[in-house]
Amino acid sequence: MKTIIIGGVAGGASAAARLRRLDEKAEILLLERGPYISFANCGLPYYIGGDITQKENLTLQTPESFRSRFRVDVRIRSEATEIHPENKIVRIRNLETGETYDEKYDTLILSPGAEPIRPPVEGIESSRVFTLRTIPDTMKIKRFLLEEKPRSAVIVGGGYIGMEMAENLKKAGLSVTIVEKADHLIAPLDFDMAADVHRYAKSEGIKLILNNGLKSVSETEEGLKIGLEQGSLSADMLLLSVGVRPETSLAAGCGIRLNSRGAIVTDSQMRTNIPDIYAVGDAVEIQDFVTGQPASIPLAGPANKQGRIAADNICGLESSYSGTQGSAVLRFFQMTVATTGLNERAAKAASLDYDKTYLYSASHASYYPGGSNMSIKILWDKKSLRLLGAQIVGFDGVDKRMDVLATAIRFGAKVTDLANLELCYAPPFGSAKDPVNMAGFVAENVITGKLRQFFWEDVESLPRDGSATLLDVRTDTERARGFIDGFMHIPLDSLRDHLDQIPKGKPVYVHCHSGLRSYIACRILMGNGYECYNLAGGWRLYESVIHEKTVPEYICTQCK
């Protein structure tokens, strides 16, 4: 049996290695248009910033090592130009010599990946405009930094790569501005969770221009003039990080079915509509694990799994891909941002009847030094209680909590199941009531009616005509740092002594700093016959969101 694999990196290289492990006699040909078959594309920004110092560390497998270990016929700088399914032939061009030749196959795996989107704007082909997807892209940027010594950079796109490059260009000594078309950075986050990221980015010296997009690029004697939809600014270099599109022209040319966005449609065994042709990685349409709907979520982990599954099925093993839930983590300077499953925008688009809550929990026992708080947001289905998604922004311990939540989603857990998880505890690592447990406790209280919530977006519309009581139960010191207009102030520990100041028969809306003390206040009030609602996430979340919705950085302060 002869299998040709078009494209290496995560999906293609994984498929080749799995095929060899399953069938020592198989003939395996791996074609790669570039000079590298398997490299750490997630590590590319860190080579530019200097965390990774050796270029060789980015190369996971060389053609020589792959041949030696797996006996795979690896041909780099070889481009598949045509597929003829009726004859099971791939036409190949040697990019070094220009020679064109044909190879027959029994099975074919497509792993062409995706290419960076280059917006169709004037001047985008300037030598000072870069994308980052491959090692050659990385070396091009590295050479520019060393030879041209730029002092400023604009990054168009505030996704994971854009954020990582902002950090690493800043570490390389550049002044960095992120331009983002949306109203917040990191699309998998909701705005309220991204607000902390915005504030932290600015504290690290990163300038933000949101709600604005790229319009034009032109070279000047000093560098680049970058035209935006609103205003313009100058920089020495520009990095495009506005997303990727499936690289599927080869597939389209031989009749393989594509979706409306150009991604290859496969079944759960990674088979295309053409017999004996499989497809894996960033070029394929996947099923969203939570909603069951078609989606595109280009991530390395799913690509590796899909390569393995395609190889299994080629070798006669039953293996299926069950969908992608979008689990991802980002380190940004010292901050960690992690997501899994659905955010609110996706839940609404899927017409799900969901509920949500927020926590602000310590990474480990508060009495043990070195801890920090993390912001947690969870979504669940109101009817089934199935956990739908989670977002965490913090510093220490974010990744391990998100891994637990991602696992819970994968195994269909209810949000209330989080309360019952028995997680590892010692003071340097966590708390006896882990933040994941706390998420379950809070959700359980909401579901059983022990806790009624209102949210930051409800605050402005709360009645201030005397038909309700608005109550702040923080300390005097906390209140002095800022407050919400219209909220009377009674610290929690003196609340029972001042119940006579709170009229009966009217709803009470309560907040504290994070939502915990105001929950206690609500239990006191409900125990005394009041109807009470707690501000989810508390003053801390409200202030963060409102501040980021009103700060002047949302207008391009550099624009002319």
> What is the helix (H) or strand (E) element at residue 47, kind and residue range?
helix 44-49
Q: Is 532 considered catalytic here?
A: no
Instruction: Tell me whether residue 315 is exposed, middle or buried, using C-beta atoms within 10 angstroms of its C-beta: 0 to 12, 13 to 18, 19 or more.
Output: middle
DSSP 284-353: B-EEBTTT--EE----HHHHHHHHHHHHHHHTT-------B---EEEEETTEEEEEEE--HHHHHHTT--
Dihedral angle over CA of 415, 420, 421, 422, nearest 10: 170
For the packed helices 9-22 and 300-314, what is the interaxial angle rounded to 10 degrees? 30
Find all residues with CB under 8 Å of 36, minimum gap 6, and list them.
Answer: 8, 9, 59, 76, 134, 135
**Residue listed under structure tokens 């309360």:** 419
For residues 345 and 191, the answer to whether their CB atoms sit within 8 Å is: no
Q: Are strands 373-381 and 354-362 parallel, antiparallel or unpaired?
A: antiparallel
For residues 78 and 94, the answer to whether their CB atoms sit within 8 Å is: yes
DSSP 98-142: --EEEEE-SEEEE---EEE-----BTTT-TTEE--SSHHHHHHHH
The dihedral sign for the CA sequence 154, 327, 350, 303: positive
Question: Which of 42, 254, 315, 559 is the catalytic position?
Answer: 42
Nearest to 136 by CA among 77, 210, 64: 77
Using CA atoms, how far apart are residues 472 and 75, in angstroms rounded to an integer? 68
Nearest to 553 by CA among 183, 268, 253, 229: 183
Q: Are strands 78-84 and 89-94 parallel, antiparallel or unpaired?
A: antiparallel
Buried residues in 400-438 as b, exposed as e (16+ CB within 10 A): bbbebbbebbbeebbbbbbbebebeeeeebbbeebbbbb
Active site residues: 42
